[in-house]
Structure 1
Amino acid sequence: MEILETALWVLLVLTSFVIIGLVLIHRGRGGGITDMFGGGFASGVQSSAVGERNLTRITWIVGTVWLMTIVLLGLISRFQI
């Protein structure tokens, strides 16, 4: 059980950093943090509506994995003997 818990913690850290990166490269609508860090970085991904839509889908998938990881870690800690 300890191996599973360690793997879930690693997955949680990795998905946390991926979510931060994905949110930062989303198209800024008001000149916010995306422009502050050089908004041109994601211009290739966001050049079309399809790119933005795919970026949103990937963000939702990673967010769902992140949330499920937190729930599993909570269940493990709750029912651990």
Structure 2
Amino acid sequence: MILTLQIILVITSLLMGFSVLLHKGKGGGLSAVFGGGMQSNLSGSTVAEKNLDRLTIVTAVLWFLSIVGLNLVLNFNL
């Protein structure tokens, strides 16, 4: 059980890192300082961006649940 939760935690951590890095910058902040704010946003969010948002949210929820589950298993020996 512990090994399964640890594997899920590692996989979701990697997926969440990749999905966050794939997101397009929304302008302003540090991305604008380094030239990221030069792009013009002529269209709204695309289907790919919406799917990437959904993937990130689902991955974050699974990541959170695996942390909580791992904590419960280690603390209460379930």
Greater relative contact order, per chain length (Cα 8 Å cut-off, separation 6+)? 2
Q: Distance in 2 between matches of 1:7 and 1:80?
A: 15
Q: Distance in 1 between matches of 2:49 and 2:17?
A: 16
- Residue 10 of structure 1: aligned partner: 7
* TM-score, normalised via structure 1 length: 0.71
1:60 to 51, 57, 74: 57
Query: Structure 1: which 5+ residue stretches go unaligned?
Result: 37-47
The Cα shift of 1:74 comes to: 0.7
Q: Distance in 1 between matches of 2:6 and 2:65?
A: 12
Cα RMSD of the aligned pairs, angstroms, is 2.4
> Where does structure 1 differ by over 3 angstroms across 4 or more consecutive aligned residues?
none
- Residue 38 of structure 2: aligned partner: none
* TM-score, normalised via structure 2 length: 0.73
Query: Structure 2: which 5+ residue stretches go unaligned?
Result: 36-44
Matched, 1:73 2:78: no
Q: Percent identity?
A: 35
State the SS of the aligned residue for 2:71: helix
Q: Which has the higher helix share?
A: 1
